[in-house]
A and B are shown apart, each in its own frame.
Chain A
Amino acid sequence: MAIIERPTPTAAITLRAPVTPAQSMGIVRRPVTSTGWKSWVFTVDHKKIGIMYGVFAMFFFIVGGVEALLIRLQLATPDGKVLSADLYNQMFTMHATTMIFLFAMPMAAAFANYFLPLQLGARDVAFPRLNALGLWLLVAGGLILNASWFLGGAADGGWFMYSPNSGPVFSPSNGVDFWTLGVQIAGFGSLIGSINLIVTILNMRAPGMTLMKMPVFCWMILVVQFLLVFSLPVITVALVLLTFQRSFGATFFDVAQGADPLLWQHLFWIFGHPEVYVLILPAFGIITEVLPTFSRKPLFGYPFVVFSGASIGLVGFGVWSHHMFATGLGPISVAAFSIATMAIAIPTGVKIFNWTLTMWGGKIWYSTAMKFSIGLIVLFTIGGLSGVTHAVAPSDTQQTDTYYIVAHFHYVLFGGMVFGLFSGFYYWWPKVFGKMLNEKLGGWNFWLMVIGMNMTFGPMHILGLQGQPRRMYVWTEARAGEGLFNFGFWNKIASLGSLILTIGILFFLINIVYTARKGKIAPLDPWDARTLEWITTSPPKEHNFDRIPVVHHLDDFFHRKYQEDATTGELVQIATGEQLVRAEEANADAHIHLPSPSYWPIAIAVGVGTLGFGVVYGVPIMIVGVLMILGSSFGFVLEPSVAQDIDYDPPASGGQDTKELAPLG
């Protein structure tokens, strides 16, 4: 890694092959290898980090899915015996926590990390080592969260963890302690990641790419990162208060001392509602890339899509109390939050119209990626409509804590976010791995997921309006109701649906294995795509671009391929994607400097994890953790961004020591 020197433009890229890394810092050797497991663990390459985020998220998607299946198994019949009440509480808590913090956010981070620099025409993110730190903090958080299963039971207070219910009196196991610490650490990781990505977007765009020539995916990621930067500190406060309460005997949520039980709810939802948009906007961004590509039309109303995304982000901060209508906030607050919540449907509606009109009159290519995008539009709209019914406070009072709510947020999160991410998998798989996912298996994957998802979550609307409460571990035959609205029938359908959904997702996993073994090698521009990530090889080279592209248009890659004929006004192809990539290779830059790998990000994360365990298991472990963090932070700060010549053996012959990619690290 580090320094890529090319004596002549046509020569192959030569990496300095390090034989023995030399001493650095006088304490440890600096990693400089570019192959083997070390090149992954110590990497600062945004592409490798992105893939690791993806693998991590996929693993926890399966874990969370198994938890959901157990829940559905328990509810399939009256008085289910699969799980005990206590285990059921742990199950739904960890299902939600896993899916939100360990699948959805990391998977969005995977896409953002991998494609943001590629779409912006940059060689890496602004702070590569901080990027790695974000990833490893997330892993530490995920491990701490799930360690609780083996150390006396997982958290059982719901993902919202309302206090005082989550206090030591009602939740005596260590589960909640692990939960607060795990979420805290993972949240710290995403805070670092989001600062990094904002700086990347604002400072590292290719020459000529103004903000309004930036792909919509980057815009949505930008909005999401701002949401994270300003909402995560609030949950941090809440989590700190709860940790202090549980571990050090503070009194924040002790009602006997006069504490206010609404404090937690406010702090949580000031974070929790922006979080909802943190989850959905990346998916919106992905399908906004996919829809124009497969409709072979430019996006309809680019500025509208961008600004509606931004306004969703803005208004998203002013609606948190709609989660608390049932707590008796008083008519004025309820009315204000109710109106704000309805208002947020407007920019969302704008987006849906824009997507639909993008497809209108286009030559639509029904690839799997496109199917998932269309699936998102339809299913998200259903979920969005039921969402508007909660915005009406009187109606919400009826629906609060019933399965109707469960139906709503699964339509927007599963039908919306997960479908968007799957669309992204099929669209970008050839870019990341150089092989095409099988379209036939993809079709099975899509249709089984659509059927399964509607069978699972559709009936929950009926169940909820009939009054089946959320989070109850059993329902009884005696209160199941009759005829069409019988609980038994619809619960069975829902459980059956979850099985079909599982089979659909299995098809995706089969597809991955099949593609890895026998998949077709992807052409350089398989989808006739529009944005800059396709102007390099698949998978991209370590340095992304042979030459930093100069941007003149929105969808610059498309404009390089097609031009309007002056006389007829029709689009004429002037070059293929393949030719463009080859042209870039032929004119490659001679000097490319990349930041070197580093031990310190993962070292800091291990220290933070140790500190976390220390909070639960006693002060000595805490002290060890703090010392580890301090030591590795000093290492982090004092380390130069690029490995020095002496880090190589034989010593590298120099080259300009530029810092263009890692100014401050």
Chain B
Amino acid sequence: MAMWLFLGSECLLFGGLISTYMLYRGRITQGPRPSQIFDIPFTSVSSFVLLMSSLTMVLAVTSTQRRDYERSKLWLTVTALLGATFVGGQVYEFTAFYNEGLGFTTNLFSSSFYTLTGFHGVHVTVGVIMLMALRGIISKNRDTGDRAEVVELIGLYWHFVDIVWIIIFTLVYLIPA
């Protein structure tokens, strides 16, 4: 319930960021254009990694519901690793863009691009931290209420972050400015 409300609130957060990006995407006075620097195959692969992590998250939820905690620990770890891979890919991508001359302060496009994707990256990172904490809870055998419910809640958050990425990927990378 609280998680649903929080995600509702997050929708507006990303709504605001995406609107800002859409407003500013074409306003480039200096620096490289997005079509010159985007590496679509690379980002597609990292997007695929993130989407696969949704699948492993589902597996984690179902195995927790079956009370198969060893399995759920495994799937949570895999999900966290996939998420971390995605964030790593993003860091690599940012570095590459920066070397090609697109700094955070270069133009309106770059500021809003880095802010939007960076915010998403931070959300994934927070998600990874939550997954690790969740793994900690399960392995420490701490009694914090209904475990399946907790895993499901974190799962909700994780799927939300994935869905947002689908939107961002489409709007930012695939639709040409």
Residues of A in contact with B (beta carbons under 8 Å apart): 126-127, 191, 195-196, 198-199, 202-203, 229-234, 236-238, 240-241, 244-245, 248-252, 254, 257-260, 263, 267, 630, 633-634, 637-638, 640-641, 657, 659, 663-665
Contact = CB atoms under 8 A, between A and B. Distances in A.
Contacts of A229: 5, 8-9
Interface in B96-130: 104-108, 110-112, 115, 119, 129
Given A244-B111, A252-B111, A267-B16, A663 B145 contact: yes
B47 to A, nearest CB: 23
Nearest to B149: A664
9 contacts: A127-B2, A198-B5, A202-B1, A229-B5, A241-B115, A249-B105, A257-B108, A637-B133, A664-B153
A274 to B, nearest CB: 11
Given A251-B105, A252-B112, A126 B20 contact: no
A641 B144 contact: yes
Contacts of B142: 638, 640
Contacts of A260: 23-24
Contacts of A241: 20, 115
A234 B27 CA distance: 22
A633 B153 CA distance: 17
A634 B104 CA distance: 32
A665 B149 CA distance: 13
B150 interface: yes
Given A196-B2, A248-B105, A641-B144, 14 more contacts: A126-B2, A199-B2, A233-B11, A233-B13, A236-B16, A237-B13, A244-B111, A254-B108, A257-B107, A259-B27, A634-B133, A638-B136, A640-B144, A664-B153
Which residue, of A191, A237, A241, has the highest number of chain B Cβ atoms within 10 A?
A237
Interface of B: 1-2, 5-6, 8-13, 15-17, 20, 23-24, 27, 29, 104-108, 110-112, 115, 119, 129, 133, 136-137, 140, 142-146, 149-150, 153
B12 A250 contact: no
Contacts of A196: 2
B145 A630 contact: no
A640 B137 CA distance: 10
A75 to B, nearest CB: 37
B106 to A, nearest CB: 8
A198 to B, nearest CB: 6
Given A252-B20, A640-B144, A664-B144, A240 B2 contact: no
Given A233-B13, A637-B133, A240 B144 contact: no
Contacts of B137: 637-638
Contact of A233 (B9, B24, B107, B110): B9
A232 B20 contact: no
Contacts of A230: 8-9, 12
A252 B25 CA distance: 11
A236 B105 contact: no
